[in-house]
Chain A
Amino acid sequence: MRFLHCADIHLDSPLRGLERYEGAPVEEVRGATRRAFENLVQFALREKVDFVVIAGDLYDGDWPDFNTGLFFAKGMAQLGESGIAVYVVRGNHDAASKLSRALRLPANVHLLAARAPQTIVNDALGLAVHGQSFATAAVTDDLAAGYPQALRGHFNLGLLHTSMTGREGHEPYAPTTEQVLRAKGYDYWALGHVHAREIVAREPWVVYPGNLQGRNIRERGAKGCELVTVEDGVISTESIALDVLRWNECALDVSELADLDALLDQAQAAVRAHLVAADGRILGLRVRLHGTGSLHRELAARPERVVEQLRAVALDASAGNVWLEKVAIAVRPAQDLARLGQGGDVVALLAQELATLGSAEPLLDIAREVLKDVRLKLPREVIDDEGLDLEDPAVLLELLREAESEILARLAGEADGDAR
């Protein structure tokens, strides 16, 4: 018996943080979550699996476009034409979604009940699927505790949308423990909700497959589903990559680099290496520059130009297959600020200002005031998506650090008004 276990499809969820620029592979990543979902369907058909389980979160909760639901239903119908059954539980996003209420799913899709745990038995396969959908967006009870005991003589599969004992970056929904799961006597627990792949346990198997397609830089690495094989009672599982765009971060240490050309050379090599690892996919790459070195001044004084040049390098090295998501410049100046700050001269004063940033409440007040005009104009989505809350001290602190790096660079004669 073979089946696919996937979760957190989040169909039509947008890719975040990808600012368009000349040469960015816009067409190549269009509809990435849809294409990843299509990859799932095609893989199931090609491998002729016996069934598919989806452990919740088919759509984004607040996404209202009915077309998304129709697209999902079409994919399911394709599986149905080949006799592949699909077992689904609703996750927190689906419970919040209006789509999932109005949509009629094909007959091969078995949506497990939300009122109480439900068991669907497939005698032809000797399979018993146990599960319970989310009735509301925020379920904080241990749903698994209410699941029935294993059905003797069957392969028992538990379908559950849960955060287990808690996972960073994920709401603590339907919390449960390994002990609870183990006590049910099931063979395989197909979990969803956490977007990173994780094999929680092997006896019995408790698996998070991760989501189908990474949607931002936090969801890095290969994404896809689990191909589970059960032979003579022995279970094995294999991760299948289905993603269209692969997110990754490329950290470059500038400490030993003599100049910008050296940085660009290193970036080019790194881009090529990441491309190979992405196995022919489009790469959503964040370049993080770190370290302490003489290059800091140039980076601080002309960040936009550095970004442009890195984009050009990425474009060139990848034949247009890399989308540079962001260039995060976390390079520290070569100077020792603490030592520079000793004294009463101008440089010392500036260094002292830098040193007091963390606790400089008046400076934060000034920053709030200075940025008031732009703050009032920023759309809510941008503030949430891009983490750009200009009231947030952490954000202001980060911006102040960038600003002061720029001042140090300019005081020493770099970039006199030609930074753009």
Chain B
Amino acid sequence: MKFAQLHLKAFGPFRDRVLDLPIDAGRDLHLIYGPNEAGKSSTLRAVNHFLFGMPARTADAFLHDYGELRVGATLSLGSGERLSVMRRKGNKNTLFAFDAASGAEITSSPLAENTLADILGGLDEQLYRTLFGLDLEGLHKGSEELLRGEGEVGRSLFQAAAGLASLRSLMDGLDKQAADTFKARAQNLPLNRALQDFELQRRALKERTVRSSAWESSEGEYQRALARHAALRERLSAARATQQRLERLRINLPLLAERTQVETALAALADVPALPGDARERRIAAEERMRGAEQARRAAHATGERLAGEMAALVVREALLARAADVEQMFHALAAYRAARAALPDSERRTDELGTRVTRLLAELGAPEALDHAARLLPSATLRAALQSLLDEDARLGERDMHLASQRDEQRLTQSRLEARLAQLPAPAPLALLEQLLARMANVTELETRRQVLAREFGEREARLRDELAMLWPGSLPELLALTVPLPVTANGFETDFGVLAQHEHALAQQAASLERDLSECVRELEGWAASGEVVTQAEVSSARTARDAQWADLRRDWHEAPAQPPSARLAEQFEAAMREADRLADLLHADTARATRVAATRKRVLDMESERARHAERRATLLAERATLETRWRALTAPLRRAELSPAALRDWLVLHGQLLARHAELDKLRHNEREAAEEFARARQAMDDALAECALPPVAADEHLAEALERVRGAVSAARQTNAERVAIGEQIETQRGELARLAAQHAQFTQLRATWQARWHEAMAQLRLGANAMAAEVKVRLEQFARLAADLDEMERLASETRVQRVAVADFEQRVAALADAVEDAGSRHALDALAERLYAELGAAREAQARRQRLTGEIAAACRARDEAETTAQDARQRLAELLALAGCATPAELPALEDQAQLGRELAARLADLDTQLLRHNARAVTAVASEAEGHGLDQVTTQIDEVAMAIDALESEIEAAQEAVFTAKQTLDTIDGGASAAEAQQATRSLGARIASEARTYARLRLAHAVLARVVQTYRARHQGPLLARAAEIFRRITLGSFADLAVDWVEDSQVLQGERRDHSRVPITGMSQGTRDQLFLALRLAAIEQHIASRGPFPVIVDDLLVQFDDARALATLDVLAELATHTQVLFFTHHQHLLGLAEAAPIARAMNIQVL
């Protein structure tokens, strides 16, 4: 697939911009140049967004709304056909066809969402970038990673092939995360901890589990304790029974003895008559009653006589008593009679007054008819009610009329106020525009923030770069950038050479020192021997002999030359001296041959050492010369760096710093570029914002105004517009409501008028009935009604007075007649003139008659009572005599005088019997069985013996009680133990906790397994990739590397370092440079070579896809940049390469080179 055209319809700064990318075999390298502000970065993003969809948030919507964003392209597919696709922003249906010629969208034919994904072979954005993307940052990171991994072949290849910044950190990350989860011997890692917790919980579970056997054992223990307790209780109750029996005996024995005595006494009284126990009392009582009865009889008789006398003297008026009721009635009616008689004249006078008043009222009412008809004139109750109703209604209607009028006024006032407010409100604001503006301003603010952040970062980095530069280089940055620096390998070579030289010098110095030490040692040795006596060596002997022989030769020559002459004495003496010396020395030599040999050897060594010293001096001179040469070369190398003092090691550090500085400079360049882009983007967005402000009739952002303030201002405007619009709508609604309300009030008024007319008709009718004018006022009606009311009241009063007078007259007459009749009936002979006094007197006499009658009745009763008392006394005396006779019969004696002695004996017998019964009762109560049984039980027991036995049993009981207490305790303990097994859920909960921990272990173990397996699978894929591709990929990468480095490196080689195979560069002279020995630029180029080789491979296996390159060559020198472009042009014979740059320098370079023929240049 290749791009034939790119349609930037609405994206970032573009509107309807078309980029032609002609597809031409061999010319598919497209250099897309965009100077600052032209939108190079936006174009790059547009390509990505076209292929893979637009993200939810994008910074490319500052000019166009989200919904308007469009990027389209015409694609040339492998089959030769062309496809024009437009992408919009959205979640679904984002792809549709468009007409490439006119640019018209065909929105009616949406394309399947996976149309482009299918064309891209299933790759998504990240994977596509991984395989087919190249940019400076990726290159640097890849290069750094090559350095860190020291060029390990498998990883380097995989990393380059996958476009990965760091395979190492990816794998290390997996490994570390796995190691942070679990290690076989660790303690505190999550999975280890979970496993320990699990084990602890399992132990806790075991401790809390109660097995059946444990329960059975506890239950058995409890049952046994219960049984023992029961047995002891049984023994205790037996002992207590014995104790009770003995206690019973102790009580029974004295009782039984007394019983025997009483029985004996009773037997002695067997012949005494059995008089009842109360015989004495009965006898004395009978004698007392006889005496009392006689006295009573006498008293009653005397009383009867006295009362009969009083009765005979008493007089009673029977006639008056017979009319007693009438006398009382007359007396009680007396007051009423007197009142009626007194009131009669007053009633008659008041009747006359009322008649006069009514006549006057009738005249006022205009009906001076006779009094008899006055009642007919009174208005009926219904008329009065109707009138009251009309009056009430009149009041209501009046009130309502006023209310309606006031409401109407009020509504009209409110309406006019609302209309005035509406007129005052500003015109409707363009809210939609303002809101769009606000959204746009928010975007611009973001852009401003981004620009500020970038500017700040740029400033900081630039300052840092300056500091670093000052430390590194005394000159300016451009000088440093133009500076040709030695390769690290050169520095390494010098370092090696200096090192070797220093080693040699050091070795020489050491050898010389050692030689000097040995030499002085030998000299000291020789001096020592010389001091300890003469030491003769073989050489000295030989030398003495040679001297002797020379003397001898001189002597002989002298003798031969002059045989006649005697030898010269001097010669002879010299010869003799020499001969003696030689002999002496020979003797000495013979005497101390060992010392002599050592001295000789030492001297020989001294000589050898001296010659060695001379050789050292020569070697030192050579080394000095070498150092001078090396230092001259070194100074020549370091002179351009203006750092003459640098050592080779320092140079290497310097070079690393230099590399880093260059990298930082490149980053800074990129940052500057980004910052400028951001600034331009911001400027554009701000201009768009100013336009929008103008459109919204708002002042543009002033030069001294902060964007945030402006944003706040617009927010204020939006808020004000919203409020105004809302208020306008609200007031409109209120006015409408007011209108409706007024209409409603008018309708109510019409209804009211009709009601008023109806009322008027009814009013007229009522007035006629009241004898008033039709339009009489309500007050008149009230007065008229009051007149009628007064008339009615007076008529009622007259009626009442007439009736009252009648009653009074009848009452007076009736009373007088009845009093006169009564006086005749009781034969009263008094005057009949004052009848009321007569009634009073008769009443008084009636009282006296009644008192006499009562007295007579009382006396009659008292006489009867006296007769009854006498009779009763006689009866009592008779009864007492009868009782005495009975007692005498019982005792069998003739006179009462014999009775007391017999009574005493009988009493003694009764007391003994009672005692016997009492004893039997006691025995029965104590023993609850027959007395005979008790007696037989006691038989044979003595009191002392029983007391002793009681003490013994008490002691036995005490002992048993102690045992029972202990047994009770045992039962309690066993029960407590048993009760701890209560069906509780402790073990079950521990089990649940164990399972929860199990779940945690599983979760952690899965995480661990996933990480470890991911690591293992990745390692396996790395190895497989290497095994399959190492050869061809390295060969192709080496070729590209050679071309990019302009032949500085001839090949790539693989070598073993320790256990791993590593990549190395090979120079033309076959010397090898490890990754660590390469400059950063060279490493970048190596990584690029590997990437390009991998991309070629991807193209070969997946078919042509556009390779997207983003400003890759910024830090390459011109020659290497051209060489890289050449490689890219070669790649473009297989696929399309889109090379984005904002460096005009590169454009010029490319245009001037032969490669321009194989390249299309697009300027944005």
- Please list the residues of chain A having a beta carbon within 8 angstroms of any beta carbon in chain B: 12, 14-20, 30-31, 33-34, 63-71, 73-74, 98-99, 101-103, 258-259, 294, 297, 303-304, 334-337, 339-340, 342-350, 353, 363, 366-367, 370-371, 373-374, 376-379, 381-382, 385-386, 388, 390, 399-400, 402-404, 406-407, 410-414, 416-417, 419-420
Given contacts A12-B985, A258-B91, A399-B1009, contact A335 B996 (CB under 8 A): no
CB distance from B398 to the nearest CB of A (A): 64
Chain A residues within 8 Å of B1097, by CB:
344-345
Q: How many angstroms from the CA of A67 to the CA of B211 in the assembled complex?
A: 9
**Between-chain CB contacts (< 8 Å), 9 pairs:** A65-B208, A67-B986, A73-B983, A103-B212, A345-B131, A370-B1015, A373-B182, A381-B998, A400-B1017
Query: Closest residue of chain B to A97, judged by CB?
Result: B212
Given contacts A102-B216, A258-B91, A371-B1013, contact A65 B998 (CB under 8 A): no
Chain B residues within 8 Å of A340, by CB:
121-123, 127
User: Contact between A370 and B1008 (Cβ–Cβ < 8 Å)?
Assistant: no
Q: CB within 8 Å of A: which of B729-755?
A: none
Query: Interface code B188-208, partner A: CB below 8 Å = 1, 0 otherwise?
Result: 000100010011001000001
User: Contact between B982 and A67 (Cβ–Cβ < 8 Å)?
Assistant: yes
Chain A residues within 8 Å of B180, by CB:
420
B988 adjacent to chain A (CB < 8 Å):
yes
Top 4 closest A-B pairs, CB basis? A417-B173, A343-B1101, A412-B126, A70-B983
User: Contact between B126 and A413 (Cβ–Cβ < 8 Å)?
Assistant: yes
B981 adjacent to chain A (CB < 8 Å):
yes
Query: Closest residue of chain B to A417, judged by CB?
Result: B173
B517 adjacent to chain A (CB < 8 Å):
no
B308 adjacent to chain A (CB < 8 Å):
no
CB distance from B141 to the nearest CB of A (A): 12
User: Contact between B127 and A349 (Cβ–Cβ < 8 Å)?
Assistant: no
Partner of B127, one of A70, A71, A382, A412: A412
User: Contact between B985 and A411 (Cβ–Cβ < 8 Å)?
Assistant: no
Q: How many angstroms from the CA of A323 to the CA of B1017 in the assembled complex?
A: 34
Interface SS majority for chain B: helix
User: Contact between A66 and B210 (Cβ–Cβ < 8 Å)?
Assistant: yes
Query: Closest residue of chain B to A73, judged by CB?
Result: B983
CB distance from B1051 to the nearest CB of A (A): 24
Chain B residues within 8 Å of A103, by CB:
212
Other than A14-B991, A65-B988, A103-B212, give 8 A-B pairs with Cβ distance below 8 A.
A19-B1002, A30-B992, A63-B991, A67-B982, A67-B988, A70-B981, A99-B212, A417-B170
User: Contact between A378 and B1003 (Cβ–Cβ < 8 Å)?
Assistant: no
User: Contact between B982 and A335 (Cβ–Cβ < 8 Å)?
Assistant: no
CB distance from B1146 to the nearest CB of A (A): 28
Query: Interface code B973-1006, partner A: CB below 8 Å = 1, 0 otherwise?
Result: 0000000011111111101101110111111011
Chain A residues within 8 Å of B209, by CB:
64-65
Given contacts A66-B981, A335-B123, A345-B1101, contact A350 B1021 (CB under 8 A): yes
B354 adjacent to chain A (CB < 8 Å):
no
Size category of the B interface is 35 or more
Given contacts A345-B161, A377-B195, A412-B130, contact A400 B988 (CB under 8 A): no
Query: Closest residue of chain A to B1101, judged by CB?
Result: A343
CB distance from B1004 to the nearest CB of A (A): 9
User: Contact between A416 and B173 (Cβ–Cβ < 8 Å)?
Assistant: yes
- Which of A65, A303, A335, A342 has the most B CB atoms < 10 Å from its CB? A65
Partner of A345, one of B176, B182, B1024, B1094: B1094
B970 adjacent to chain A (CB < 8 Å):
no
Query: Closest residue of chain A to B91, judged by CB?
Result: A258
User: Contact between A19 and B1003 (Cβ–Cβ < 8 Å)?
Assistant: yes
User: Contact between A347 and B210 (Cβ–Cβ < 8 Å)?
Assistant: no
Q: How many angstroms from the CA of A316 to the CA of B550 in the assembled complex?
A: 128
Chain A residues within 8 Å of B986, by CB:
67
User: Contact between A420 and B988 (Cβ–Cβ < 8 Å)?
Assistant: no
Given contacts A346-B162, A347-B131, A374-B182, contact A417 B177 (CB under 8 A): yes
Query: Interface code B1024-1035, partner A: CB below 8 Å = 1, 0 otherwise?
Result: 110011000000
Q: How many angstroms from the CA of A103 to the CA of B219 in the assembled complex?
A: 12
User: Contact between B999 and A18 (Cβ–Cβ < 8 Å)?
Assistant: yes
Q: How many angstroms from the CA of A297 to the CA of B124 in the assembled complex?
A: 11
CB distance from B1155 to the nearest CB of A (A): 27
B56 adjacent to chain A (CB < 8 Å):
yes
User: Contact between B1017 and A404 (Cβ–Cβ < 8 Å)?
Assistant: yes
User: Contact between A70 and B982 (Cβ–Cβ < 8 Å)?
Assistant: yes
Partner of A370, one of B992, B1013, B1100: B1013
Q: How many angstroms from the CA of A73 to the CA of B215 in the assembled complex?
A: 14
User: Contact between A386 and B191 (Cβ–Cβ < 8 Å)?
Assistant: no
Query: Closest residue of chain A to B166, judged by CB?
Result: A416
User: Contact between B122 and A339 (Cβ–Cβ < 8 Å)?
Assistant: yes
CB distance from B1098 to the nearest CB of A (A): 5
Query: Closest residue of chain B to A341, judged by CB?
Result: B122
CB distance from A255 to the nearest CB of B (A): 11
User: Contact between A342 and B1102 (Cβ–Cβ < 8 Å)?
Assistant: yes
Chain A residues within 8 Å of B1017, by CB:
353, 363, 400, 403-404, 407
